[in-house]
A and B are shown apart, each in its own frame.
Chain A
């Protein structure tokens, strides 16, 4: 293959029209064509992006600069994943990309081409909460709830991989998810409860009148 400059010209011409076979050997041309078609630049206008969301095939038209989070929330109306920082610093936008938790704010929708995405809306089926979601409610693993979708996604992935995590493993799993209300202790408790472990409560109500020291 030729050097950078001539190759760029080659690709540019391919991008808009056909290239003459005479310019290159026949094998090279068919390989080159296949590759160049695959390597045709898309955008900057809206382009078709197809992926699976919560088991459903979806195709949408978005500019390459649209993030996965913007596409999910804006184009698909899936507002469960939240935009809280838009800079990969808080985890409120977490979704599963091929079962791996990612920050939807920090990848482009076009990068998810062909991928299987699970959002918070895809967990509870027919209104029935998962064991983790149920535990989050019962153990009060939330306050304002804005971080909850991201927390649930990252912990769902943890429990799939590691059904009986230790407290330290749970804490580490949510290291990339911030909660300004400070619900971490109850989120950890909920995760332990969901994995069949006894959650710890550190709250004791005592009567001032009965207490020996009071």
Chain B
């Protein structure tokens, strides 16, 4: 790790002004410290944002819940009300890493984490995300990579919470300069879809403050994943679903897939397809087919397509269960 200076920000406002263009925000540090140890980033200043007021609360509001960016994943996963109202969110938090990791990791950090691609993380590899000319996963070892890609980079979004929050139609509130802006989950990641160098849409001086999750009467949510190991392993594919099953029919259901694209993969067409249709495995398979329609298998990641389809069916079955 290169030497750096360290400061604890007392407000969101000062955090974004302190960080400048050579600093990085430090919350749980689970992602950032690894990047620094591997020499992938060499910030001159770390701005600890854990003291920023109002970022540690989980608050039930009228129609919308607010989850602060510095809420740890352990707290989110164990929060009794969250487990009841947004089980998919709690499940997604619980599926992150290990207990110690969840004790440190934060909601904001999970959403803003950088690529886990093993070429990106390899300190000596010069890939497109690090300013090189090519994506080394293309034509390389791409079994953990995207089946839906728009840029040269094949690194997928692996943030569990992004997938769950996308299905829950949540918003992300971000400090941008002196103002706060509210983004959809899609907006939070859209830059990663269009810019191979981007991990998400946020600038280095933009700070996630909280997420806002709408409550929909009668809706359920679920998050499922498949990994190689039973615990403490990245999802090969994950799927979140939220919505209602009324009178045996899907209502207002939203789907999102993780680890298949640079963004949490959502298609309005798939959600619309489900609307009012009987809550059956056949309907679910139809939605899965739409979601994966444009998926393209690389040399080693074709398996993700059937796995994703299976998970969509399982998530939708769990919604109705």
Contacts and interface: CB of A to CB of B under 8 A. Distances in A.
Tell me if chains A and B make direct contact, with any CB pair below 8 A.
yes
B62 interface: no
Interface in A51-68: 63-65, 67
A1 B13 contact: yes
A205 to B, nearest CB: 31
A39 interface: yes
A4 B178 contact: yes
B34 interface: yes
A111 B74 CA distance: 19
Interface stretch (A19-27, A87-95, A125-133, A193-201): A87-95
B20 A39 contact: no
A88 B34 contact: yes
B103 A100 contact: yes
A38 interface: yes
Contacts of A173: 99
B54 interface: no
A44 B4 CA distance: 5
Interface in B4-30: 4-11, 13-14, 16-18, 20, 26, 29-30
A106 B178 CA distance: 31
A111 B48 contact: yes
Nearest to A35: B10
A176 B104 contact: no
A43 B7 CA distance: 9
Contacts of B177: 3-4
Contact of B100 (A45, A87, A101): A101
Contacts of A94: 100
Contacts of B293: none
Interface in A109-160: 110-111, 154
B93 to A, nearest CB: 14
Given A41-B45, A91-B98, A108-B29, A64 B6 contact: yes
Interface size class of B (residues with CB under 8 A): 35 or more
Contact of B101 (A45, A172, A176): A176
Contact of B29 (A1, A3, A91, A111): A111
A106 B16 contact: no
B29 A106 contact: yes
B1 interface: yes
B37 interface: yes
A176 B97 contact: yes
A65 B2 contact: yes
A103 B104 contact: yes
A39 B4 contact: no
A175 B98 contact: yes
Contacts of A180: none
Contact of A172 (B29, B30, B231): B231
B181 interface: no
B169 interface: no
A41 B100 contact: no
A175 B232 contact: yes
Nearest to A36: B14
Contact of B17 (A8, A44, A63): A8
B275 interface: no
A35 B100 contact: no
A86 B36 CA distance: 12
Nearest to B179: A3
Contacts of B10: 35, 38-39
Nearest to A86: B37
B30 A44 contact: no
B195 interface: no
Interface of B: 1-11, 13-14, 16-18, 20, 26, 29-30, 33-34, 36-37, 45-46, 48, 74, 97-101, 103-104, 177-178, 205, 231-232
Given A100-B103, A154-B99, A154-B100, 20 more contacts: A3-B17, A4-B16, A4-B205, A11-B17, A39-B18, A41-B6, A42-B6, A64-B4, A65-B2, A65-B4, A87-B37, A88-B30, A88-B101, A100-B74, A108-B29, A175-B98, A175-B231, A175-B232, A176-B97, A176-B98
Q: List the 10 closest A-B pairs by CB distance, nearest first.
A: A176-B98, A44-B3, A64-B6, A175-B231, A7-B17, A41-B7, A41-B5, A4-B17, A43-B5, A65-B1
